[in-house]
Amino acid sequence: LLQYARGTVTAFAPFDARADAEALCKAMKGMGTDEETVLKILTTRNNAQRQEIASAFKTLFGRDLVDDLKSELTGKFETLMVSLMRPAYLFDAHALKHAIKGAGTNEKVLTEILASRTPAEVQKIKQVYLQEYEANLEDKITGETSGHFQRLLVVLLQANRDPDVGVDEALVEQDAQVLFRAGELKWGTDEEKFITILGTRSVSHLRRVFDKYMTISGFQIEETIDRETSGDLEKLLLAVVKCIRSVPAYFAETLYYSMKGAGTDDDTLIRVMVSRSEVDLLDIRQEFRKNFAKSLYQMIQKDTSGDYRKALLLLCGGDDE
């Protein structure tokens, strides 16, 4: 597994899978569920430990922990607890499967996951998707999308981004000029150039390209994308650019907009909080505080309620005031 050190959720110690399984069983027994116990255990153990608890639960009681959670809990709180029980790559594979099934594709989910995951993570997601659903993720996605949006998704799914090994300034200059000519200088945009360069060059190379682009054109690359493209392609290109600049800043913004204004986009809130809790949620919190003049903790507190709120705040892991 890929190792990260900027998560809010880490391995719990001293850990006893059987004791946790017993406590969960007791919490869900008889009349009424003790939600507090459920959320305290599941938000403070890491994913690997949650899998051990599920396994101990089955061994001790002959029951499936996830099935029990589904039958005992309801609403957003249930969705959050069940999401915490999914292994990381399965979590992404499952989210992608649901984004492309049935009527209407959820482009937002495809964009968020494929723009932000590392090439190694994308490879792993594809493997897990194949094992779990006996289907090829790329085929499924191409079946449900079209045009330049589809092409950029396919490029990202190849997970062949150049490795970060030193930056060639001549190539930086060349790429920046190509993008300038393909966007600002062209009547109609040459999307192919944006797709190839943004989808395949290394992260450190692209960061330099963005600086050079600004020097050449007088615009941030985001401004050009905003003006020259539209719809799903625009959103995906912007997500890729933001993730190249800073994945935590991208997720801070995603979380902010999931809660800003009327109504909360709980699917996005849950997806980001769960998927980044062991990766970079500490960095996301920092970016959030820096860019939105309030802490993530405060915004969750204001925007959610009940056990759902308690669990999200535990995952958040602290206030940054």
Per-residue pLDDT of 151-195, as tens digits, reads 999 999 999 999 998 899 999 999 999 999 998 787 767 899 999
Name which of 41, 54, 34, 38 is nearest 12 in CA terms. 41
- The string of pLDDT tens digits covering residues 13-54 is 999 999 999 999 999 987 788 999 999 999 999 999 999 999
Verify that 73 and 63 share a domain, yes or no.
yes
The whole-angstrom separation of Cα 146 and Cα 138 is 13
- The string of pLDDT tens digits covering residues 76-110 is 999 999 999 999 899 999 999 999 976 678 999 99
Domain assignment of residue 189, yes or no = yes
Domain assignment of residue 287, yes or no = yes
pLDDT at 74 > cutoff 90: yes
Verify that 185 and 233 share a domain, yes or no.
yes
Domain assignment of residue 310, yes or no = yes
The reported pLDDT for the residue numbered 104 is 72
The whole-angstrom separation of Cα 215 and Cα 222 is 14
What percent of the chain lies above the pLDDT cut of 90? 89
**Summary mean pLDDT of the chain:** 94
Domain assignment of residue 8, yes or no = no
Domain assignment of residue 2, yes or no = no
Name which of 297, 280, 269 is nearest 77 in CA terms. 269
Verify that 127 and 152 share a domain, yes or no.
yes
Dihedral, 266, 272, 278, 284 alpha carbons, nearest 10: -120
Count of the separate structural domains present in the chain: 4
**156 — alpha (psi -120 to 50), left (phi > 0) or beta?**
alpha
Domain end: 139, 158, 177, which one?
A: 158
CATH of the domain at 114: 1.10.220.10
- The string of pLDDT tens digits covering residues 276-319 is 999 999 999 999 999 999 999 999 999 999 999 999 999 999 99
**What separation in angstroms does the CA of 109 have from each of 6, 26, 78?**
23, 36, 20
Domain assignment of residue 163, yes or no = no
Verify that 183 and 236 share a domain, yes or no.
yes
3-state secondary structure of 33: coil
Q: Containing domain of residue 297, as a range?
A: 247-316
Domain assignment of residue 11, yes or no = no
Domain end: 59, 85, 111, which one?
A: 85
**226 — alpha (psi -120 to 50), left (phi > 0) or beta?**
alpha
The whole-angstrom separation of Cα 185 and Cα 181 is 5
Domain assignment of residue 42, yes or no = yes
Verify that 241 and 251 share a domain, yes or no.
no
